[in-house]
Amino acid sequence: MINSARLFPRIDTGKRKTVAVAVSGGSDSIALLHLLQIHYSKTKPSIRLVALTVDHGLRPNSGEEADWVRAFCQARGIDHRTLRWEGEKPQTGLAAAARGARYQLLSDAARNAGTDMIFIGHTSDDQAETLLMRSSRGKPDLQNRGLAAMAPATLYDSRVWLLRPLLGVSRAVLRRHLTNQNIGWIDDPSNQIRRYERVRMRTVLEASDDPEELKNALVDRAGEAAVRRRALGEAAAGLIDRHASKCIAGLIRVDPLFFDAPVPDEDGLAARIYAAAALLAVTGGSAYLPNAARIAAVLEKLNSAGNRATLSGTVADRRRSGIFLYRETRRGGPGPVACADGIAWDRRYRILAGEIPLKSDRLVGAIGRKQAILLETDAGDWPQSLTRAARASLPALWQEGVCLGPIEIRENPETQDIAGSALSAVPISAPWLEFLPSFDLTLAASVARLIGQPKIDQIPI
């Protein structure tokens, strides 16, 4: 029997009275739910478990499987909720869309249940398959970040923690535990469909001379990559803290020393490239960090005063007083989109409606250069051409082609859940807008401080 006390000792529920568990009915999630119930019944009986089952509606028997999980939970006194993915399903990119819908449904249900903590039953098998998938996709991402595979904790949508306590446990061990406890599970037939990438990777593992040895080697490799990624992020965060500052909303100044100072070793160069990638992606609202080759080209172009370069939607403009970063608006700028509470406009600002009723014909779009000049205010000693360019990319309210005025930007609020009576916008970081893995917490926190983003929630580990 698995010792539940050894699986969950570092997870801190704090003052939470409820935690959620994603339960599909497969062996991994059923084992997780069972072990959590044992653990909290012994260590914190006041904790309420809520099991969440997502029915994607993609298979004829998916509803019956959800009902099976509901009955399993009822027999053990565990609250259960079935979450259905309604509406039309896309013809292409179905797997990615289903994944996005699953996490959104889980997050909303957890919040409705009064918690920001969801346990996910990913195992060491899933970790090995994830690493194989990322390794087989050809070109690696920046600094091979993806080789760290899945993080033990991930902040989703800036508001809910996804916890994976079983990443060091194999599926075989979990199934032996369930069998010993006379507990059954559901085998998902989609796990046999070879058009799915994960199924193909699983087949590769099973066809190896020693599947268990290969899996363990892959898990160890992911662990080593996670350590490197965390260390690299911490070094990059240190560079940002020392060399980057905010001039006005939308305009970041980077000290020339950031680019010009000699680096002591290869790790130092990697940290500089990583920090530059984060600054460029966040300023330009890019969901992905640019690759090292493109960043190196930008750094080379900025090597002499007066040069400019554009990457990831960001203009990098070198002046004597520093390198300035602002959102590119050459093609009219971001937006416009329908103004709605909570939208992530341009992946740079979260729009908050407050108590203002929103009209259907009102849009959020960039202020634009003409309006930026009309609304100009004192910007200190910074070059006027730069402050105007930065202001041109800030959010404004529009109606029938007429700018009704800029949207107030609220910087450095205390929490992600911000109440207010007026229409406003808070800064957000595009690369970690959906998923912020624990590997990147230090780097993301550094960027958040720089742009005035709400403080990132404390990791419950």
Which pLDDT belongs to residue 202?
A: 82
Closest among 280, 272, 285, 278 to 394, alpha carbons compared: 285
For residues 404 and 398, the answer to whether their CB atoms sit within 8 Å is yes
Number of H helices, E strands in the chain: 14, 20
Classify residue 294 by burial, with Cβ atoms within 10 Å: 0-12, 13-18, 19+: middle
Closest among 165, 217, 167, 197 to 99, alpha carbons compared: 197
Which pLDDT belongs to residue 397?
A: 92
For residues 276 and 298, the answer to whether their CB atoms sit within 8 Å is yes
Closest among 50, 354, 59 to 187, alpha carbons compared: 59
Which pLDDT belongs to residue 434?
A: 96
> Between 211-243 and 197-207, two packed helices, what is the crossing angle to 10 degrees?
130
Question: What structural domains does the chain harbor?
Answer: 4-207 (3.40.50.620), 337-431 (no CATH)
CA–CA separation, 311 vs 297, rounded Å?
A: 10
In 285-423, alpha helices (H): 292-301, 369-374, 384-391
CA–CA separation, 242 vs 113, rounded Å?
A: 41
Count how many residues are written for the chain.
461
pTM: 0.92
Which pLDDT belongs to residue 155?
A: 97
CA–CA separation, 154 vs 164, rounded Å?
A: 9
Per-residue pLDDT of the chain (461 residues; tens, 9 = 90+): 687 778 888 899 999 999 999 999 999 999 999 999 999 999 999 999 999 999 988 778 888 999 999 999 999 999 999 999 988 888 888 888 989 999 999 999 999 999 999 999 999 999 999 998 888 776 777 888 999 999 999 999 999 999 999 999 999 999 999 999 999 999 876 666 666 677 787 887 877 888 889 899 999 999 999 999 999 999 999 999 999 999 999 999 999 888 777 766 778 889 999 999 999 999 999 999 999 889 988 888 887 656 889 999 999 999 888 999 999 987 656 778 999 889 999 999 999 987 767 777 889 999 988 888 877 666 668 888 899 999 999 999 999 989 988 999 999 877 666 666 688 999 999 999 999 999 999 999 999 999 999 999 889 98
Q: What b/e string do you get for 353-369 counting C-beta neighbours within 10 Å, with b at 16 or more?
A: beebeeeeebbbbbbbe
Sort strands 314-319 and 322-327 into parallel, antiparallel or unpaired.
antiparallel
Contacts (Cβ under 8 Å, ≥6 apart) of 50 = 18, 19, 20, 21, 78, 79, 80, 81, 109, 110, 113, 115
CA–CA separation, 8 vs 164, rounded Å?
A: 10
What is the Rg, in whole angstroms, of the alpha carbon atoms belonging to the chain?
24
For residues 56 and 62, the answer to whether their CB atoms sit within 8 Å is yes
Interior angle at CA 26, CA 22 and CA 30, nearest 5: 60
CA–CA separation, 71 vs 62, rounded Å?
A: 14
